[in-house]
Chains A and B, each alone.
Chain A
């Protein structure tokens, strides 16, 4: 079926089977490889993207449900990789294998958009669906706190608030 939607601010049109998950449309049709396949069962969160700002499992979201959707992937989280979460992830060198981290960052970005300073418990709760096989959870949690600080510093310094996370 023909579907028109926005990906990272750009209008896109695809013609794929209606039951094809958004994940495979992004990866194999639009060649956006940053969103990962971990299970296809909504169990691991590696495929997390934003639809209208909400963290969504793209592996179980059929493309037929994306007509007119506003989608943000890791590639579009910031223009140049400088979203507070990306900077914090780099600063703390969170990844080991790194495969889950795009999904982790997208889930965390949706959290920070709602809760600029989440507690540990709020982080655990929001991130519970994102698996890291290398178990870098301690650094992910630390990096989310660090990103929250970076964002509030930016706000104090008078920079535009970038809580939405998408398209800086």
Chain B
């Protein structure tokens, strides 16, 4: 019943017949796993395969990556369906479980799903199509080259014969699969699915209230848990009134979890487990814990600012990059300026609070249902923390009510597992909103001490950035680093980038366009300052800067993709055109600002038009975004949504988001003091794409970083006030 091809390359395909006349196509990464899986048992293996084609012509595709709102559950199957050449209406999509043996990269992070899957997914689909064509050719005894396909049917036009994929499936299962590395892919001009607006595969379920999310998981016999951690990061439980808590209505268990010292792992705390979450939550209000707060209680935002100012006065601890002689260039520059930039810690604030359901069974098996962006890492954390083998853990990936990088961490998963280990029955851990805001892995704050100079012609000749960030010795805290070749390195002859680090007891992490979301504010604002001091149009000034690459192009950003100045210029030119930049005189109090940034392999330039009344009331009027993420916009319907959302997200950050730390704890606790953008603030966003001849890349992140600087540059154009720290709610923007 099964044909397994012994191929030694990295990607290969296992093909099986399904009882009843279908075909199963599964691509594997590690050849060793194929022999373990063996043949037969195709039906059992179905959930671990990418494609199952049944005689009714229905193609079921497993969506392997976590869906957090980025549209991957729709996008990856589109790639397969395109090359398989089936009608999209006949495609069904199922969320896959975590299966590291068969799937690679089940992660929602770094805008990586598109670049990592663009070829592999298409190849799987193309291989399936090739086998169905071969099956038809064999059946009809005609050359393969004379057969063609269209929407799930193979045609032999000369003999006017046709056969549906469903009818050919069982024959195709006997055909030797083609080599995935060389299988023929479609000419992009023939794409029928890629590039078409496709609705999200879960949209109908979302608008009708079907359970989809981690918080919706219901397991028979399930209890509900709340977990109370020390408000000071790293604090431990000294004592708690557990007996009193256990006596409260509905409470089944109350116990101390010792936890570990890993700030992004299992922190110490008190678990309360009850018949309903409301009862657990109510009991929590009566909990009286004495904490050993530990050394982080000495830390706070004010002291970070004071330390940063002191560090900036002295020599930097580390040199990250040195081109030319920045001191000499500054000394001889025609005009020079300096600026101190700051952006705060911010929280992710995904709308679905962190949660996880876990069942630690009597036989030692652990079953988990988790809204995680990185479930494999969560499994690793559980293995490391709780002494269980990874083969004894099953993880079901649920849809997430927002990710934004927060769910790359898996603290809620290891907490649920630790609680489940004690209670022995299924348990759903659910955080409160306050838990979520106060125990995030925050976008780290950052301090940039910048100086720069231009020559008499207005060219940038010197750039120095002393970046004061957080870390331990030589290591930057998570999300707190800067790339040595961060722009404008490569375009300025005398360039120095150096860093000093402050110790931090607050957990940090990755937030949508990590690094870039803060760095772009500092660099693109300071470039604006240089443009004004040079007396140049800020947009043209950027084009001029990009026109003259000086040093070798280095890798930039998390994927170390080389900087392509032509693509950066392309998005700037497009945004100039669509925004009408510089073509109309704006009244005092109204201004346009521009910024661009390269991150996660995507180039975005954005123009913000904003007005500021004399009393300082800011109104963002419109945003134009131009992006270059390669040769195809795979799903334009989702792409526009992602860019518009990223832009509003960037505005929310700039307008009012700030997490402050006081005595080692987070001051803010809800949407009242950590504001998301609301309806009336939502800004019209015009989205444009520039296509360039490289494979498509991701869109979850790169549209965000230019927003805060473009807004602040617009405020400068409107008022003459230069904003060097975020959020804007801390500034008086009034003018006269």
Contacts and interface: CB of A to CB of B under 8 A. Distances in A.
B655 to A, nearest CB: 12
Interface in A108-140: 123-125, 127-128, 130-140
Given A93-B638, A133-B676, A34 B210 contact: yes
Interface in B55-77: 68-71
A100 B679 CA distance: 13
A93 B199 contact: yes
A62 B648 CA distance: 34
B402 to A, nearest CB: 4
Contacts of B680: 124-125, 128
B374 interface: no
Contact of A90 (B203, B645, B648, B652): B203
Contacts of B277: 24, 28
A96 B671 contact: no
Given A31-B218, A35-B209, A41-B670, A96 B69 contact: yes
A137 B682 contact: yes
B279 interface: yes
A131 B678 contact: yes
Interface string A54-91: 00000000000000000001110000010001100110
A74 B202 CA distance: 15
Taking residues whose C-beta sits less than 8 angstroms from the other chain, chain B's interface range is: 35 or more
B261 interface: no
A140 B644 CA distance: 12
B652 A135 contact: yes
Nearest to B678: A128
A131 B276 contact: no
A34 to B, nearest CB: 2
A10 to B, nearest CB: 15
Given A74-B208, A96-B641, A135 B677 contact: yes
Given A17-B249, A135-B649, A97 B401 contact: yes
Contact of B207 (A17, A46, A81): A81
Given A100-B351, A138-B685, A33 B216 contact: yes
Contacts of A94: 203, 207
Contacts of B638: 93
Given A90-B204, A100-B351, A28 B682 contact: no
Contacts of B647: 135
Contacts of A135: 644-645, 647-649, 652, 676-677, 682
A153 interface: no
A89 B682 CA distance: 18
A79 to B, nearest CB: 10
Contacts of A53: none
A37 B403 CA distance: 16
B21 interface: no
Given A34-B210, A96-B71, A101-B206, A139 B401 contact: no
A99 interface: yes
Contacts of B682: 135, 137-138, 141
Interface string B62-103: 000000111100000000000000000000000000000000
Contacts of B402: 97, 99, 133-134
Given A101-B206, A128-B680, A131-B676, A37 B641 contact: no
A28 B671 contact: no
Nearest to A63: B278
Nearest to B209: A34
Contacts, number: 184
Contacts of A52: none
Contacts of B71: 96
Contact of B641 (A123, A127, A139, A141): A139
A44 B671 contact: yes
A20 interface: yes
B637 A39 contact: no
Interface in B667-681: 670-672, 676-680
B352 interface: yes
Interface string B622-663: 000000000000000110011011011100100000000000
B670 A98 contact: no
A133 B399 CA distance: 15
Given A19-B282, A37-B215, A81-B204, A74 B644 contact: no
A136 B645 contact: yes
A24 B350 CA distance: 20
B349 interface: yes
Contacts of A34: 208-211
Given A29-B276, A40-B432, A93-B638, A46 B249 contact: no
Given A32-B209, A93-B641, A98 B679 contact: no
A38 B351 contact: yes
A3 interface: no
A102 interface: yes
B278 A28 contact: yes
Contacts of B350: 97, 99, 133
B536 interface: no
Given A36-B401, A128-B678, A95 B203 contact: yes
Top 3 closest pairs, chain A to chain B, by CB:
A34-B209, A97-B69, A99-B401
Interface of B: 68-71, 197, 199-200, 202-204, 206-213, 215-216, 218, 224, 249-250, 276-279, 281-282, 349-353, 399-404, 430, 432-433, 637-638, 641-642, 644-645, 647-649, 652, 670-672, 676-680, 682, 684-685
19 contacts: A34-B211, A36-B352, A37-B215, A39-B671, A43-B671, A44-B671, A81-B207, A96-B642, A96-B645, A97-B68, A97-B69, A97-B401, A97-B403, A101-B207, A131-B676, A133-B401, A134-B402, A135-B648, A136-B641
Given A36-B401, A38-B433, 14 more contacts: A44-B351, A75-B208, A86-B207, A93-B203, A93-B637, A93-B638, A96-B69, A96-B71, A97-B403, A98-B202, A124-B680, A135-B649, A135-B676, A138-B682
